[in-house]
Amino acid sequence: MLRANKGAAVQKPDSHNPDVTLITQTSPMATPTHGGRAKCLQRLVRLNLPVPRTVSLSFDMVHRIASGDMPDMDALVSAFPDGALLCVRPSSEDPDWGGPGAILNIGMNDDRYAEMSKTHGPEAAGELYLRFVQSFAIHVARLDPDMFEDLEDCSAEGLAIALRTYEDEAEEPFPQSPAEQLTQVLRSMARAWEGTSARLLRQAKGAPLDAGLGLVVQEMALGLGQGECGSGVLQLVNSTSGQPQVTGRYLSQSQGREALLQNTESLYLVRDPRGPSLEEAEPEIFAKLKAHAELMRKRLRAEMQIEFTLVGGEVHILDGVRVQRSARAAVRIAVRLATDNIISRQEAVMRIEPRAISELLHRQVAPDAPRDVIGVGIAASPGAATGRIVFSAAEAQASHARNEPCILVRRETSPEDIRGMHAAAGVLTERGGMTSHAAVIGRGLGTPCVVGAARIKLDQQRNTITSQSGKKFRAGDIITLDGTLGQILAGAPDTVEASLDDAFQTLMAWADDERDISIRANADTPADAATARNFAAQGIGLCRTEHMFFEADRITPMREMIFADTPEDRQAALAVLLPMQRADFSELFRIMEGLPVVIRLFDPPLHEFLPTDRAGVRDLAEALNLPVSDVTRRVEAMGEYNPMLGLRGVRLGITLPEIYDMQARAIFEATLDTSAEGDPVVPEIMLPLVSAKREVELVRGRIDAVAAAVRAERGKDFTYRLGVMVETPRACLRAGDIVPHSHFLSFGTNDLTQMTYGLSRDDAGRFMSDYVQQGVFSEDPFHVLDIEGVGELLAIGAERARMVQRDVTLSICGEHGGNPASIAFCRAVGMDYVSCSPFRVPVARLAAAQLAI
């Protein structure tokens, strides 16, 4: 009697009203406006699965119920057999948006209790009645939970106490009419959905303002009584790994999701945790459940968890929900569905959230690990890192040498910290935003990094950090950074390892088949380049050469070069750097094996290379054989009021051309050296921070001269491509002027964002969260490309460049290159490739594929 049979003899609650629909095999699929649960149940009924009789109420109907306009309740109740107990469950568009909890056993009253005491025994009847009174009191009448939660006695006396308590608290008797009970349940669930806190909660999960709630009213299949009775859930895969494995929980004499609350290792519990599993005790039932789950997987084209009840050994399927899954499981599940020909490869690619991919590339804090959060900041580089606190780059290196993982904590990082950052397991800074030094380097290295954690207090004198709640941490204390969420945690919570398994590789290969925009990596070091290759980047879109000068053996000649008084002295210092640079470039070309490599000439303000503390100044004075006071004066003299807008980028190429000459020579010599070993290398040389055509003309003239000189010296020919980094608003506006001198233009959206907003990328982190919270910016524009403003400049630049030179290669190499929404924009304005941090390459590959499908 429980089953929604073939629909012939069923009585429809209101056959003219699509807002209240009895779900049958023949009822129309009018369910998008009835929510996901109703839709799923309708599909299960159509698959002829044993689903109890179900009526669904549309979003519209539920909205009307909230404002007091009830459907015809007698008709609704009469859609179910006389005396049936009912349950009501939420059916929102997306199950992740939540909704009010289910209410079971509606219809239980004094009369039903008396009848069921005879048919099911007084204990089972009493339990059902007591549970209903409890949940009605707490969730519908909204009485004080403390008065009801602990009631356990389901004897006649116990029930009498529960009913009296209800009457005392509610100041009215417990409703006996099933129609009245149902009315109140529906109204309370409808109103709960429209309440402010529920709305805010679901909006935080991405639900639109007007998200609707449907409700399903279902006849209860009681998991209590004679024969094998109980309830449980079952699924065909492991939620963590995604590997095929039948898992679930079952509890005899239970209903709802009670089985899930059992704290037991045994998955198929029958009455007693030490007893046989459901599979052993009831093999036929188990086989039936498995077959139902397999049918659902095939026909609903998804891994589903079935919620079932057994009544006297008979199976009832109450519901099906998408299996909860880790990012790793999601990939394996999608790939298996496609290899089993249940979904297409394209669909498998579409099913994976690109952001979730980055979870696979890094170790993560285990989803169920307890978190002692001591501070929050900007999630600048994903992954989990645990280690002892150190407060300087030198300590980080010492710790690394002892094989002891450490977390480098700094106010902000500077180029001097680079070796410490290499040595640290994670980096935490008090200041900074998404494109600050620590963030960019952290992402490049794949090192978990939290920046702009302004509310933890860093005391550099005493070497302590203090959490918001006042807890102090000292050097040597163990903390964990969650760079995925931007949290700082005390201690060492459990973590799960990165996973680049076969399923991941398969999915990425399918994504690459669809993609119509290339993906390169920003890579500065051989290690970065190797990571980029490992993630199948199609080349290097940005090699920031200044990062090559922070090694211990290079910083001194670099500083000598900066301090040189004459071009000759400068040449002499550069001559020391030349072979080092040549070796760097040769190694990059070798690793990239003929794939394109964009080398950006020196960009930062020179003073970034000067020492910032007394010890550094003393070291430099020693190296230069100068008095400390001299060095101090000259360091101060090189200071600029606004270095990011000062003597940097191509401006150095114009005013101190020997640096670019040396770099060009190193690139060309490396080109000839590596071309001799295999396919010819065609280097791509890029000029940073250009704002005027003449800058390009001047620098190009010198680079051509260096090329001619190297050709003549070596007696060998080569070609190279020259490009311009478009990262000032003027370069975007004048792209048509600049492009005739360039083979390619690459938009540097970090500086372009900084200059478009007039917002320092290194300081924005201090107030960015206030700006985003108050809706001034919808997102951090250093993280997600500001389409309206910066995007317009990009579009103008791309259009003006293409008008003059159709075949110019266009790309983006700012941090936005790895962001899915930004990639969509770049593709729309016709860019040829995006370039992003190596660890974001897989995310970009997947996002780009989804855009093309």
Smallest gap from Cβ 689 to Mg ion, in A, equals 6
Site residues for ligand PEP, 675-734, by CB under 6 A, read 727
Q: What is the DSSP annotation of 128-186? A: HHHHHHHHIIIIIS---GGGTTT----SHHHHHHHHHHHHHHHTSPPP--HHHHHHHHH
Would you say 473 and 465 are in contact if contact means Cβ atoms under 8 Å apart? yes
Query: What's the rounded Cα separation, in Å, for the pair 695 and 734?
Result: 13
Tell me which stretch binds ligand PEP (CB under 6 A): 189-197, 198-206, 611-619, 746-754: 746-754
Is residue 750 part of an annotated ligand binding site?
yes
| Nearer to Mg ion among residue 415 and residue 748 (C-beta) | 748
Smallest gap from Cβ 576 to Mg ion, in A, equals 27
Tell me which stretch binds ligand PEP (CB under 6 A): 142-150, 482-490, 558-566, 743-751: 743-751
The torsion region of residue 491 among left (phi > 0), alpha (psi -120 to 50) and beta comes to left
Tell me which stretch binds ligand PEP (CB under 6 A): 215-223, 742-750, 803-811, 838-846: 742-750
Q: Looking at beta carbons, which pairs linking 561-568 to residues 24 or more positions away fall under 8 Å?
A: 561/659, 562/606, 562/609, 562/610, 562/638, 563/624, 563/634, 567/658
- The binding track of 135-174 with respect to ligand PEP, each residue x by CB under 6 A or -, is ----------------------------------------
Smallest gap from Cβ 136 to ligand PEP, in A, equals 60
| Nearer to Mg ion among residue 624 and residue 645 (C-beta) | 645
Query: What's the rounded Cα separation, in Å, for the pair 612 and 64?
Result: 68
Site residues for Mg ion, 641-700, by CB under 5 A, read none
Tell me which stretch binds ligand PEP (CB under 6 A): 234-242, 291-299, 668-676, 749-757: 749-757
Smallest gap from Cβ 473 to Mg ion, in A, equals 35
Smallest gap from Cβ 201 to ligand PEP, in A, equals 37
Which active-site residues does the annotation give? Answer: 437, 813
For the sheet containing 103-106, what is the strand order?
20-22, 54-57, 213-219, 86-92, 103-106
Site residues for Mg ion, 716-745, by CB under 5 A, read 727
Task: Give the number of residues written for the chain.
Answer: 853
Tell me which stretch binds ligand PEP (CB under 6 A): 227-235, 316-324, 463-471, 744-752: 744-752
Residue nearest to ligand PEP (CB): 748
Choosing from 419, 515, 544, 559, the residue that interacts with ligand PEP (CB under 6 A) is 544
Tell me whether strands 684-687 and 597-600 are parallel, antiparallel or unpaired.
parallel
Q: How far is CA 56 from CA 37, 392, 596, in A?
A: 9, 63, 58
Site residue total, ligand PEP (CB under 6 A): 10
| Nearer to ligand PEP among residue 239 and residue 749 (C-beta) | 749
Instruction: Provide the 8-state DSSP code for 102.
Output: P
Work out what residue 749 binds among ligand PEP, Mg ion, none; the CB cut-off runs from 5 to 8 Å by kind. Answer: ligand PEP
Query: What's the rounded Cα separation, in Å, for the pair 122 and 508?
Result: 59
| Nearer to Mg ion among residue 669 and residue 815 (C-beta) | 815
**By CB under 6 A, residue 813 contacts ligand PEP:** yes
**By CB under 6 A, residue 786 contacts ligand PEP:** no
**By CB under 6 A, residue 751 contacts ligand PEP:** yes
| Nearer to Mg ion among residue 442 and residue 748 (C-beta) | 748
Is residue 447 part of an annotated ligand binding site?
no
Query: HSE on the CB side for 837, CA within 13 Å?
Result: 22
Q: What angle do CA 291, 296, 302 make, to 5 degrees?
A: 130
| Nearer to Mg ion among residue 387 and residue 649 (C-beta) | 649
Choosing from 748, 765, 781, 818, the residue that interacts with ligand PEP (CB under 6 A) is 748
Query: What's the rounded Cα separation, in Å, for the pair 601 and 584?
Result: 13
For the chain, give percent helix, strand, coil, nearest 5: 45, 15, 35
Instruction: Provide the 8-state DSSP code for 741.
Output: G
Work out what residue 814 binds among ligand PEP, Mg ion, none; the CB cut-off runs from 5 to 8 Å by kind. Answer: ligand PEP
| Nearer to Mg ion among residue 393 and residue 755 (C-beta) | 755
b/e per residue 269-298 (b: at least 16 CB within 10 A): bbeeeeeeebbebbeebbebbbebbebbbe
| Nearer to Mg ion among residue 359 and residue 751 (C-beta) | 751
**By CB under 6 A, residue 658 contacts ligand PEP:** no
Query: HSE on the CB side for 408, CA within 13 Å?
Result: 30
Three-state secondary-structure class, residue 788: coil
Is residue 600 part of an annotated ligand binding site?
yes
Torsions phi, psi for 169 (to 5 deg):
-75, -40
Tell me which stretch binds Mg ion (CB under 5 A): 176-184, 333-341, 751-759, 781-789: 751-759
Query: What's the rounded Cα separation, in Å, for the pair 176 and 110?
Result: 7
Smallest gap from Cβ 741 to ligand PEP, in A, equals 20
| Nearer to Mg ion among residue 674 and residue 754 (C-beta) | 754
Query: What's the rounded Cα separation, in Å, for the pair 255 and 654?
Result: 78
Position 294: which residue type? E
Is residue 770 part of an annotated ligand binding site?
no
Torsions phi, psi for 154 (to 5 deg):
-105, 25
Torsions phi, psi for 371 (to 5 deg):
-115, 125
Choosing from 748, 781, 818, 838, the residue that interacts with Mg ion (CB under 5 A) is 748
Smallest gap from Cβ 580 to ligand PEP, in A, equals 20
Smallest gap from Cβ 747 to ligand PEP, in A, equals 7
Torsion from C-alpha of 279, 283, 284, 289, nearest 10 degrees = 10
| Nearer to Mg ion among residue 93 and residue 546 (C-beta) | 546
Residue 852: partners with Cβ closer than 8 Å, 6 or more residues away: 514, 515, 516, 517
Work out what residue 100 binds among ligand PEP, Mg ion, none; the CB cut-off runs from 5 to 8 Å by kind. Answer: none
Q: What is the DSSP annotation of 499-562? A: ---HHHHHHHHHHHHH--SEEEEE--SHHHHHHHHHTT-SSEEEEEGGGGG-SHHHHHHHHHHH
Residue 554: partners with Cβ closer than 8 Å, 6 or more residues away: 548, 577, 580
Is residue 240 part of an annotated ligand binding site?
no
Smallest gap from Cβ 779 to Mg ion, in A, equals 20
Tell me which stretch binds Mg ion (CB under 5 A): 75-83, 330-338, 545-553, 749-757: 749-757
**By CB under 6 A, residue 819 contacts ligand PEP:** no
Residue nearest to Mg ion (CB): 751
Q: How far is CA 622 from CA 552, 616, 625, 628, in A?
A: 15, 10, 5, 8
Rg (CA), the chain: 33
Torsion from C-alpha of 223, 227, 233, 238, nearest 10 degrees = 160
Choosing from 181, 749, 809, 837, the residue that interacts with ligand PEP (CB under 6 A) is 749
| Nearer to ligand PEP among residue 504 and residue 782 (C-beta) | 782
Q: What is the DSSP annotation of 563-617? A: H-SSHHHHHHHHHHHHHHHHHHHHHHHHHHTTS-EEEE---S-GGGGS--SHHHH
Smallest gap from Cβ 358 to Mg ion, in A, equals 23
Choosing from 514, 524, 751, 815, the residue that interacts with Mg ion (CB under 5 A) is 751
- The binding track of 578-617 with respect to ligand PEP, each residue x by CB under 6 A or -, is -------------------------x--------------
CB atoms within 10 A of CB 99: 21
Tell me which stretch binds ligand PEP (CB under 6 A): 54-62, 243-251, 481-489, 747-755: 747-755
Footprint of ligand PEP on this chain (CB under 6 A)?
542, 544, 603, 727, 748-751, 813-814
Footprint of Mg ion on this chain (CB under 5 A)?
727, 748, 751
Q: Which positions make up the binding site for Mg(2+)?
A: 727, 751
Q: Which positions make up the binding site for substrate?
A: 544, 600, 727, 748-751
Q: Which positions make up the binding site?
A: 544, 600, 727, 748-751
